[in-house]
Amino acid sequence: MERMAFQLPGGFVDDEGLVHDRVILAPLCGFAEKMVAGRNGKPAPVLVTALLSRSIEKIGGIEQVSEGLVRRLLAGDRLFLLLKLREMTFGRRIEAVIRCSFPDCGARADIDFATDNIPVSRSPQQARWHKLQLSPQAGGLLVTFRLPNGEDQEELSNLLDSDEELAADNLLARCLQSIGAVRGPSLAEVAGLPAAAKAEIENEMERLAPKIGASLAALCPECGRSFTAAFDVQEFVLTELHTRLDLLLKEVHYLAYHYHWSEKEILGMTRENRRRYIEVLSGEMERLHHAF
Ligand SMILES: [Zn+2]
C-alpha cells in the first residue's frame, strides 16, 4: 500500500508556536515487525515511538521526523497514528476477544468491528501552553500547563504500574509550567497541592486533549446483556504486530531460499506482500509436486 495523509486530531506545536497537523504515513514493513518482536519487555510507549518514527515521513512542514519529535507528539495523536498504521498494514477490520463485564457471567465473546467504529475526538491545538484559573475551593491560583505527550508516557510507564498516584503527581510536575508565582514547580510542590486543584487541572487536560475511544458497546452471547467493553487500541495493535520472531524468520528464509532475495529486501516488504509471494510459491510447489 502506498503512503497516506492524515489530519492529526490534536496537532504538534513547535518551539516557534507553529502548528503541524498533516502527517504522511508509510505502511509498516518487516523491519518494524522484527523490531517489535525483538524488543520484548520494552514499555509499550517506547515501541510506539520507534514504530511511528519509522513510519512518519512528514509532519506539517517538518521532514526530518526523529524519535525525539515523535516523543513530543500528544498522547492522543500518537494513538491515532498507531491506529492508522494498523489500518494501512492490516486493514480496517478488527477481531478481538473480550470478556462479559458482569461478574456473575464473565463469558468470552468474540467481537468483530471496523476501526471506523472507534471514535476519535478531535481537539485542534493552537498553542503548546494552556492557562487555567483554579476555583476558589481549589486555591484560586492561575496555572499554565501543556498536555501529556509520548515522552511523559515513556518516562512514567513503569511508575504507572507500581504507584498510580505518584505517577499522576509526576505527570503534573512534568506538564505544569507555573502555579501562581511558582515557575517549574517541583514534584514536592505538586504533591502538596490540594486534591481539588489536581482534579481541576487533570480535568482541563482531559477536556483539551485529542482522544481515541477506549471502549465499545458489546452484547454478551452467553447472558444476553449489553455492556461496555474496554478496548485498549495500543495494547491490541502491539500484540497483533508481535508476530513471533521465529515465524518471521521462517518467512524470510522461505522467500530468500526460493527467490534469492536478501534479508534486507524481504524485511523491506509489508507482511501482506510477503504472504502473497509465499502463497504463490506454495501453490506452485503443490502444482510441481503433483506433476511428478
Ligand atoms: Zn454475560
How many A from CA of 5 to the centre of ligand 1? Answer: 40
10-residue mean pLDDT series, the chain (292 residues): 91 96 92 78 91 94 95 98 91 88 91 89 97 96 98 94 93 97 96 96 98 87 90 88 80 90 89 89 85 69
* C-alpha 103 – ligand 1 centre gap (Å): 8
- 229 alpha carbon – ligand 1 mean position (Å): 11
Cα–Cα distances in angstroms (integers) from residue 192 to residues 163, 176, 177, in the given order: 17, 14, 16
Alpha carbon separation from 71 to 8, 18, 45, 51, 208 (Å, rounded): 15, 17, 9, 11, 19
Q: In which residue are the cell numbers 513530543 written?
A: 72
Number of H helices, E strands in the chain: 12, 13
CA neighbor of 11 nearest in space, from 213, 130, 149:
149
User: Distance from the CA of 227 to the center of ligand 1, in angstroms?
Assistant: 8
CA of 237 to the centre of ligand 1 (A): 25
Cα 217 to ligand 1 centre (Å): 13
Q: How far is the CA of 113 from the centre of ligand 1 (A)?
A: 19
CA of 158 to the centre of ligand 1 (A): 33
279-292 as b/e, with b when 16 or more CB fall inside 10 Å?
eeeeeeeeeeeeee
Per-residue pLDDT at 125: 97
Task: Return the pLDDT at 231.
Answer: 87
pLDDT in tens, 227-247: 988 888 998 888 888 767 788
The model's pTM: 0.88
pLDDT value for 240: 83
Q: Is 32 helix (H, G, I), strand (E, B) or coil?
A: helix
DSSP 222: T
Residue 91 Cα to ligand 1 midpoint, Å, equals: 29
Distance between Cα 61 and ligand 1 center (Å): 50
Work out whether the CA dihedral 96, 94, 65, 274 comes out positive or negative. positive
Q: How far is the CA of 104 from the centre of ligand 1 (A)?
A: 8
